Amino acid sequence: MQGSSIRMYSFRRARPVPLLVLTLWCAGVAAQQAGAASAKEQPEEAPPTVVEVAPVLIEPAREEIGVVGNLMAGESVTLRPEVAGRLASIEFEEGQAVEQGQTLFTLDPAEFQAEVARTEAATRLWELKYERARDLLERKVMSRQEYDESLAQLQTARAQLALERVRLAKTKLVAPISGIVGLRQVSPGDYVEAGHAMVNLEAVNPVKIDFSVPERYSAVLSAGQRFTVRVEAYPDREFVGEVYAIDPRLDEANRTLRARGRIANDDMALRPGMFAQVRITLATRERAVWVPEEAIVPRGGEQFVFRVQEGRAALTRVRLGVREAGRVEVVDGLKEGDTVITAGHTTLRDNASIRIVKLPVTAAPGV
């Protein structure tokens, strides 16, 4: 009995040890399950999106519009005789520069000289008759009416003489302006009628240009405004002109406003009749914000960029201005010192983590 009690006692003393282990094991399993559940409740952040970026640039911006225009001579004249006659001489070379007042054509003056001589003789006769009439009137042997008739005849003769002298002077055609003569349409010996086109004369320094702008720009177009011109003959050259006149009336057919400008042409490179591309500067901003064109993200009719902010992408609404090749002006939404994402933003969301792989080195303005 005593031995049996001892064995029983030994069995009861060994039993609590496995229970303690089991309890501790169960507690560990429960803690692991609770940790796993807690981890599942907290979503993992997506890995950073790889992007390329570029800093904004601060450079001047010019707001411009482009239109087409036609070049014209500063002044253009077609010489036409006012009297008919045979062409006696041509006193210029085609294509040469001539001065105002220089004789270009001479018609045969013989007939006109004869008319002047005849009228001079008739006028002299009426002058003598008038002298006698005045003497007779003073002696009161001629009526006042006869004296007045004699005076009128003299005045008529003098007017006719003046007319004949003017006609004689018109046998010489002189340059009304300084310029360059074109290709003549007559030859010496031709009989030309009054009004027959003989040669064109063009003043081409400066030249004029006519162009039209849409109605919405009529409020900002003004006399004195500068513009630039390019022509097909000189594709790498830019000519500068200035608006000097604006039509007060809009074209009702296409709602455009017509303007006219002058362009210096010292080397005679520009010719009347050329087709020209005109760019008119409407406004200039000296410190404009520029970003690469690929940084712009259009969404729902508005424009955005992703701005880099503390390692994340900040979606920023912007308002755009002037566009140039490869870049665009931002007039609102960005400032100097900002950096924008230029590549990798196709699936990017606001406040997403980013990893920059390329930061272009941009030369300073004017370098």
Does 83 share its domain with 184?
yes
Model confidence at 27: pLDDT above 70: no
pTM: 0.62
- Assign residue 159 the CATH number of its domain: 1.10.287.470
Q: Which residue has the tokens 């500067």?
A: 281
Task: State how far the Cα of 282 lies from the Cα of 214, in Å rounded to an integer.
Answer: 13
Q: Specify if 192 maps to a domain.
A: yes
**Residue 64: CB partners within 8 Å, gap ≥ 6?**
279, 280, 281, 282, 322
Structure-model confidence comparison of residues 278 and 2, the more confident one: 278
Residue 179 is predicted with a pLDDT of: 92
Give the β-pairing of 57-72 and 226-231: unpaired
13 in a structural domain:
no
Same domain, 231 and 293: no
The answer to whether residue 367 sits within a structural domain is no
In a domain, 30, yes or no: no
Question: Which residue range is the domain that position 328 belongs to?
Answer: 50-60+286-358
Note every long-range contact of 318-327, with CB atoms under 8 Å and residues 24 or more positions apart, other chains counting: 320/296, 321/61, 321/63, 321/285, 321/288, 322/61, 322/62, 322/63, 322/64, 322/288, 323/293, 326/292, 326/293, 327/57, 327/290, 327/291, 327/292, 327/293
**Residue range 165-190, pLDDT digits in tens:** 999 999 999 999 999 999 999 999 99
Q: Encoding tokens for residue 307?
A: 């701005």
pLDDT at 120 over 50: yes
Structural domains of the chain, count: 4
pLDDT in the model for residue 62: 84
In a domain, 210, yes or no: yes
SS3 84: coil
Strands 57-72 and 207-214: antiparallel
136 shares a domain with 83: no
DSSP classification of residue 268: -
Position 27 in a domain: no
- Interval 267-313: pLDDT, tens: 889 999 999 999 998 878 889 999 999 989 898 888 999 999 888 88
Distance CA 109, CA 293 (A): 74
Which of 24-38, 103-117, 123-137, 145-159 comes out lowest in average pLDDT?
24-38
Single out the residue of 231, 271, 217, 226 nearest to residue 244, CA to CA: 226
